[in-house]
């Protein structure tokens, strides 16, 4: 408490100091560390823009009519030390018990070398999604390892690079089955011994697609009514292992597609789904070294047959080659994805779980096939011993083979639970006649003894572990025992000493450009500071070692954190309620639209199924609308980039009866605060529609305007953009939704922990509060910044963007500006004329930026042939200038092409990025010097980021699709 008070005092002085007209906090506060520019730099930049104060700039940027007039009711800013102390007190209210609950979540041991060098390493967690593959070879290799691991363990042919969680992966499998199955049936069979949270998420998803879910026993199902697909759990939720071959055969006879949700560790010993005929395997990779985290984040996997490669949801890493023929990795088959296919995309997944997939893959690299098998054997053997002992004590357990989970019949369930609670142990309660016990990597013989003792009651144990073990049969027999090998590739057998692994991790990290190298000015993605103090709590045991389905009285700390975060986010957005369940922006969109649909239904307006979406919308918007069973109608944008009001009015009137919602991004994806946003919301409301606001651009609004005030009914937030959760190289993320009071009854629920009311849309993610263990990051950010600091951050984000726009405008015209010639927190520069002038495409500039040590801005979205630049508030003037210098120097290189000074085909841009390998070799046949190629700017001589590969040939990789390490080795030959 003492520390806490000291910090509070220090705080008070901070506030005393900060009575500057623009409230810029002094250098000793966290706020000043979060913000890039200092006070002098702010003034310098304002001068360049022709403003005398920051507020003047803001007033000219944001329409007065929507400005938030009050001040946000949030805690006062505090120091890192005080915030951590405060959070530690909250964390201490969580009780870390041993959980044997199972249901797809297991305690595990994160190898310390992986925890420190990946999970806690900004070189890995601050990277962006690997769209610019030349500066992302490290994590692409880790993801290729992940895919290889999944392909090997599931026995299937192709795997993606992660999905959000096991339950949503199962829902994606259902959607894919619907698309690919030859059967034209409309029903999907779900075995009633799947994990309950998976069943729930699948049901929510099926409902809007008009799919009938048939629940039943896979042992007795007679394939009537006809189905297009089926979902089985392997092992089943109660631990039972079945031979599914007969089921699969019958399903295939009726041309249905079979998905098996399989426990990855069990596949080290059991015949994998691919070998018993399954078409799709999904599951969680959590127990491969990723902390429980009260539900997430964890990487789900998705594997299937090669034949379905074009229908797979999520991202796939594939091998291709660079300009010199060297093997190089990149994202394959992107034409399936929402950012290209929009309402015809295979799914709406954008942010996935890259960081967690990397950790899981490294767990396999660390242990190798032998190590993984040993862990699986240990878990299995202990479970078998536990079962035998319980039987000796008179309990009935599964009569099928088991892997790690037992169903123990007892009429004393509640009494036993009371006893386990005394011992700080959680078991699963099936119903009042059975308990579930799932063991994991961390289980020890002492745990078995303790469990036996609890089940034995007061009696002394009539046997020893050794006695039981001696009379127990451990090995799986036919048809269950796995005989095929896995994880044979060199990568899984090479790095078993810690020194070797450390170097491998570092080598991969060094191939990637993250925020530790330079700014990543990705429009719409808000790559701001992920402060170390914000990251520290996520690995505290009080947050990381908690199973999502423990009794709520063990998670009072988490509950308090959720409640505070919900209150603050509601305050910031102007909404009445928040759901923390959706695991990414895309899932927030899906959730918000489901909520809207349910609202219309509740008012007897089921026919409302039209969703208006401006042309400029992010690809996830139309893809999410389709997932909700909505019909997408595009709304035009005018020359200025604003929504075309006449078109909006016409389409609203035309579809008035059936209008469900408008999805609108604000400020628009064109980087401006549209003046007419209130009017737009009004028009939609007048026709009975609801307004869904894509809140990905909330970083331009916090403290200055609130979606709930100017007319939105629902909005998602990307906590991994505005609220400092790092991008993790393509995930994790969090996409909570805020709603107005009339929509609150429909927010997502979770039946396992009894969350959500009777009108809830159901579950949209496996865990009740999504990826709970990363919420402390956003909590820390808000507590560290306070209302003033957050507002200041927004203003500086707008200042930085306008400064960049101003500096670059005469080199590359800024495409869209608001009324006063200003942009919001990002700007789009138009590169289209350069094609004609100098044969230069957006990609050439993106790749040449790598030679200067930068990650390209967002390319060709939302307008083809442009770049969208978002500097965020965290970049200093020096860094902005460095980026401008690079862009200007590139412009000069382009001018040399336009004037004929340089060759239109063979030049610095077309050949970028330049690798050390091509530069430092005896041959040099280029019409420019090596120095111009490698050291185009002074800072590159101080510190040079070298691309490990040259420009990658995407088309070649898609034509010759190879998505596992086996391919990598073949390429190298």
| Cβ proximity to ligand PLP, 117 vs 665, nearer residue | 665
d(CA 516, CA 529): 10
Closest CA to 662 of 620, 621, 628, 699: 621
Shortest distance in whole angstroms from residue 641 CB to ligand PLP: 14
Please, which residue, 618 or 687, has the CB nearer to ligand PLP?
Answer: 618
Site for ligand PLP, residues 732 to 751, rule: CB under 6 A? 733, 735
Binding mask 514-543 for ligand PLP (x = CB under 6 A): ----------xx------------------
Which of 147, 351, 915, 918 is in the footprint of ligand PLP by CB under 6 A? 351
Q: Which of 356, 533, 623, 696 binds ligand PLP (CB under 6 A)?
A: 696
- How far is 972 from 950, CA to CA, in rounded Å? 16
DSSP three-state, residue 323: coil
d(CA 283, CA 51): 55
* Residue 350 binds to ligand PLP (criterion: CB under 6 A): yes
Binding status of residue 665 toward ligand PLP by CB under 6 A? yes
CA distance 970 to 973: 5
Q: Which is nearer to ligand PLP, 66 or 164 (CB)?
A: 164
> What CA–CA distance (Å, rounded) separates 36 from 772?
29
Q: How far is the CB of 668 from ligand PLP (least distance, A)?
A: 9
617 DSSP assignment: S
Euclidean distance between the first and final Cα of the chain, in Å? Answer: 63
Between 41 and 337, name the residue whose CB sits nearer to ligand PLP: 337
Stretch that binds ligand PLP, among 56-64, 100-108, 462-470, 580-588 (CB under 6 A): 580-588
- Contact region for ligand PLP (CB under 6 A) — 193-201, 405-413, 486-494, 584-592? 584-592
- The 618-637 site mask, x for binding ligand PLP (CB under 6 A), equals x-x-----------------
The residue among 711, 538, 684 whose CA lies nearest residue 611 is: 684
Q: Are 165 and 583 in contact (CB under 8 A)?
A: yes
**44 upstream amide cis, omega within 30 of 0:** no
Spatial contact of 772 and 559, defined as CB atoms under 8 Å apart: no
CB 225 within 8 A of CB 214: yes
Smaller CB separation from ligand PLP, 340 or 541? 340
Chain residue whose CB lies nearest ligand PLP: 585
CB atoms within 10 A of CB 578: 25
Q: How far apart are CA 927 and CA 901, in angstroms?
A: 10
Distances (CA, A) of 35 to 384, 471, 968: 56, 66, 42
Between 32 and 353, CB nearer to ligand PLP: 353
Q: How far is the CB of 104 from ligand PLP (least distance, A)?
A: 22
Q: Is 718 in the site for ligand PLP (CB under 6 A)?
A: yes
- Number of residues forming the site for ligand PLP (CB under 6 A): 16
Q: How far is the CB of 599 from ligand PLP (least distance, A)?
A: 22
Query: Min. distance of Cβ 582 from ligand PLP in angstroms?
Result: 9
- Taking CB under 6 A as the criterion, the residue among 80, 200, 404, 694 binding ligand PLP is 694
Site for ligand PLP in 108-167 (CB under 6 A): none
Min dist. Cβ of residue 523 to ligand PLP (A): 8
Interface with ligand PLP (CB under 6 A), residue from 11, 145, 669, 722: 669
Specify whether the CB–CB gap between 359 and 353 falls below 8 A.
no
Q: Minimum Å distance from CB 197 to ligand PLP?
A: 21
Segment interacting with ligand PLP, rule: CB under 6 A, options 18-26, 402-410, 583-591, 745-753: 583-591
Least Å distance, CB 524 to ligand PLP, is 3
Considering only the stretches 578-586, 791-799, 865-873, 959-967, report the one whose residues sit in contact with ligand PLP under the rule CB under 6 A: 578-586
Q: Which is nearer to ligand PLP, 641 or 733 (CB)?
A: 733
Least distance in Å: CB of 307 to ligand PLP? 28
> For ligand PLP, which is the closer residue by CB, 317 or 894?
317
Closer residue to ligand PLP in complex, CB, 735/950: 735
Q: In angstroms, how far is CA 468 from the centroid of its own chain?
A: 45
Under rule CB under 6 A, residue 753 binds ligand PLP: no
514 versus 616: smaller Cβ distance to ligand PLP: 616
Please, which residues have CB within 8 angstroms of residue 758's CB and are 6 or more apart in sequence? Answer: none
Q: Report how far apart, in Å, the C-alpha atoms of 765 and of each of 61, 197, 564, 738, 768 are.
A: 38, 8, 21, 16, 7
Q: How far is the CB of 618 from ligand PLP (least distance, A)?
A: 3
User: Which one among 37, 585, 789, 818 touches ligand PLP, defined by CB under 6 A?
Assistant: 585
SS3 950: coil
858 binds ligand PLP (CB under 6 A): no
Rank residues 156 and 664 by Cβ distance to ligand PLP and give the closer one: 664
CA dist 545 and 543 (Å) reads 6
Q: Of 254, 255, 205, 259, give the one whose Cα is nearest residue 230.
A: 259
Residue 447 phi, psi (nearest 5):
-65, -40
Q: Does residue 346 interact with ligand PLP by CB under 6 A?
A: no
Task: Find the DSSP H helices in 687-773.
Answer: 707-710
Q: Which is nearer to ligand PLP, 350 or 359 (CB)?
A: 350
Q: Which residue in the set 586, 750, 907, 915 belongs to the binding site for ligand PLP (CB under 6 A)?
A: 586
* Residue 174 in the binding site for ligand PLP (CB under 6 A): no
For ligand PLP, the closer of residues 32 and 338 by Cβ is 338
Please say whether the beta carbons of 27 and 876 come within 8 A: no
Between 49 and 724, CB nearer to ligand PLP: 724
Shortest spacing between CB 522 and ligand PLP, in angstroms: 9
Distance CA 261, CA 173 (A): 10
* Distant-in-sequence, close-in-space partners of 889: CB < 8 Å, separation ≥ 6: 852, 936, 937
**Which one of 97-105, 536-544, 581-589, 794-802 is the stretch in contact with ligand PLP (CB under 6 A)?**
581-589
Q: State the nearest-atom distance from the C-beta of 403 to ligand PLP, in Å.
A: 34
Task: Give the pair of three-digit tokens for residue 126.
Answer: 């601050």
Q: Which residue, 327 or 735, is less far from ligand PLP as judged by CB?
A: 735
For residue 572, the minimal CB distance to ligand PLP (Å) is 18
Segment lying near ligand PLP (by CB under 6 A), choices 67-75, 246-254, 582-590, 935-943? 582-590
User: Which CB atom, from 37 or from 622, has the smaller least distance to ligand PLP?
Assistant: 622
SS3 871: coil
If we measure between CA atoms, which residue out of 214, 219, 233 comes closest to residue 102? 233
CB 249 → ligand PLP: shortest distance, Å? 38
Q: Between 518 and 699, whose beta carbon lies closer to ligand PLP?
A: 699
Beta-carbon neighbour count of residue 758 at 10 Å?
A: 6
In the complex, what is the shortest distance from the CB of residue 836 to ligand PLP, in angstroms, rounded to a whole number?
30
3-state per-residue secondary structure call for 242-287: CCCHHHHHHHHHCCCEEEEEECCCHHHCECCHHHCCCCEEEEECCC
Nearer to ligand PLP, 338 or 802 (CB): 338
Residue 671's nearest CA partner among 889, 471, 861 is 861
How many helices (H) and strands (E) the chain has is answered by 34, 25
DSSP letter string over 61-91?
A: HS-GGG---S----PPP--HHHHHHHHHHHH
The residues that touch ligand PLP, with contacts defined as CB under 6 A, are: 350-351, 524-525, 584-586, 618, 620, 665, 669, 694, 696, 718, 733, 735
């Amino acid at each position: 408490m003492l520390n806490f008070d000291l910090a509070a005092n220090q705080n008070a002085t901070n506030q005393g100091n900060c009575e500057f007209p623009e409230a810029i906090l002094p250098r000793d506060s966290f706020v000043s560390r979060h913000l890039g520019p200092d006070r002098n730099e702010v003034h310098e930049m304002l001068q360049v823009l022709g403003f005398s104060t920051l507020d003047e700039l803001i007033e000219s940027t944001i329409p007065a009519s929507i400005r938030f007039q009050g001040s946000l009711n949030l805690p006062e800013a505090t120091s890192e030390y005080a915030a951590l102390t405060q959070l530690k007190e909250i964390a201490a209210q969580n009780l870390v018990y041993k959980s044997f609950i199972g249901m797809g979540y297991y305690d595990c041991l994160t190898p310390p070398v992986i925890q420190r060098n990946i999970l806690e390493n900004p070189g890995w967690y601050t990277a962006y999604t690997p769209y610019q593959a030349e500066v992302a070879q490290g994590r692409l290799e880790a993801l290729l390892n992940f895919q290889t691991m999944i392909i090997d363990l599931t026995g299937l042919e192709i795997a993606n690079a992660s999905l959000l969680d096991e339950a949503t992966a199962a829902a994606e499998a259902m959607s894919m089955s619907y698309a690919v199955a030859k059967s034209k049936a409309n029903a999907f069979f779900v075995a009633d011994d799947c994990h309950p949270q998976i069943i729930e998420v699948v049901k929510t998803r099926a409902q809007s697609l008009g799919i009938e879910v048939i629940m039943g026993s896979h042992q007795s199902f007679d394939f009537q009514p006809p189905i297009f697909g089926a979902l089985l759990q392997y092992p089943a939720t109660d631990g039972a292992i079945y031979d599914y071959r007969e089921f699969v055969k019958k399903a295939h006879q009726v041309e249905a597609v079979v998905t098996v949700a399989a426990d990855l560790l069990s596949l080290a010993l059991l015949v994998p789904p691919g070998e018993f005929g399954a078409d799709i395997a999904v599951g969680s990779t959590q127990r491969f070294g990723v902390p429980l985290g009260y539900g997430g984040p964890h990487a789900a996997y998705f594997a299937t047959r090669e034949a379905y490669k074009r229908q797979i949801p999520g991202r796939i890493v594939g091998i291709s080659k660079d300009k010199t023929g060297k093997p190089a990795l990149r994202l394959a088959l992107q034409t399936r994805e929402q950012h290209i296919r929009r309402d015809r995309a295979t799914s709406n997944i954008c942010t996935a779980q890259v960081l967690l997939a990397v950790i899981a893959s490294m767990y396999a690299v660390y242990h190798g096939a032998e190590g993984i098998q040993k862990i699986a054997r240990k878990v299995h053997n202990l479970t078998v011993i536990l079962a035998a002992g319980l039987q000796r004590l008179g309990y009935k357990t599964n009569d099928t083979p088991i892997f790690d989970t037992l169903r123990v019949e007892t009429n004393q369930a509640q009494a036993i639970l009371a006893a386990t609670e005394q011992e700080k142990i959680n078991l699963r309660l099936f119903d009042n006649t059975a308990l579930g016990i799932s063991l994991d990597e961390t289980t020890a013989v002492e745990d078995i003894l303790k469990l036996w003792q609890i089940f034995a009651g007061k009696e002394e144990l009539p046997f020893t572990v050794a006695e039981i073990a001696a009379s127990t049969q451990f090995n799986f027999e036919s048809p269950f025992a796995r005989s095929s090998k896995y994880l044979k590739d060199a990568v899984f057998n090479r790095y078993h000493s810690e020194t070797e692994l450390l170097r491998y991790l570092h080598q991969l990290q060094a191939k990637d450009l993250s925020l530790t190298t330079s700014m990543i000015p990705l429009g719409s993605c808000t790559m701001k500071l992920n402060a170390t103090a914000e990251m520290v709590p996520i690995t505290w045991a009080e947050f990381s070692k908690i199973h999502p389905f423990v009794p709520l009285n063990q998670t009072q700390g988490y509950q308090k954190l959720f409640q505070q975060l919900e209150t603050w986010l509601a305050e910031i957005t102007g909404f009445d309620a928040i759901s923390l369940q959706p695991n990414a922006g895309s899932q927030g969109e899906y959730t918000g639209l489901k909520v809207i649909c349910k609202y219309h239904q509740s008012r007897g307006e089921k026919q409302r199924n039209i969703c208006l979406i401006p042309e400029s919308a992010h690809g996830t918007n139309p893809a999410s609308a389709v997932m909700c069973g909505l019909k997408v109608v595009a709304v035009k944008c005018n020359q200025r980039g604003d929504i075309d009001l006449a078109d909006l009015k016409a389409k609203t009137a035309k579809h008035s009866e059936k209008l469900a919602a408008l999805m609108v991004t604000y400020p628009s994806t064109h980087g401006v605060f549209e003046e007419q946003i209130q009017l737009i919301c009004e028009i939609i409301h007048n026709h009975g529609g609801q307004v869904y606001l894509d809140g990905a651009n909330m970083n331009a609004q916090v403290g200055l305007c609130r979606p709930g005030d100017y007319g939105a009914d629902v909005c998602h937030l990307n906590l991994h953009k505005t609220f400092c959760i790092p991008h993790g190289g393509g995930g994790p993320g969090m996409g909570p939704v805020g709603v107005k009071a009339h929509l609150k009854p429909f927010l997502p629920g979770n039946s396992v922990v009894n969350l959500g009311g009777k009108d809830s849309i159901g579950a949209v993610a496996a865990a009740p509060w999504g990826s709970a263990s990363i919420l402390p990051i956003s909590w820390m950010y808000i507590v560290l910044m306070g209302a003033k600091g957050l507002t200041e951050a927004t203003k500086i984000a707008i200042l930085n963007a306008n400064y960049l726009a101003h500096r670059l405008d005469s080199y590359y015209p800024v495409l869209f500006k608001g009324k006063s010639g200003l942009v919001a927190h990002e700007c789009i520069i138009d590169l289209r004329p350069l094609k004609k002038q100098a044969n230069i495409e957006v990609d050439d500039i993106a790749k040449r930026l790598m030679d200067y040590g930068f990650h390209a801005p967002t390319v060709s979205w939302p307008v083809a042939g442009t770049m969208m630049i978002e500097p965020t508030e965290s970049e200093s003037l020096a860094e902005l200038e460095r980026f401008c210098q690079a862009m200007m120097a590139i412009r000069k290189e382009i001018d040399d092409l336009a004037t004929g000074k340089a060759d239109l085909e063979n030049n610095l841009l077309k050949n970028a990025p330049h690798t050390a390998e091509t530069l430092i070799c005896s041959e040099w046949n280029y019409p420019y010097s090596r120095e111009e190629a490698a050291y185009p700017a002074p800072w590159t001589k101080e510190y040079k980021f070298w691309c490990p590969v040259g420009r990658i040939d995407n088309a070649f990789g898609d034509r010759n699709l190879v998505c596992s390490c086996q391919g990598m080795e073949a390429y190298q030959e």
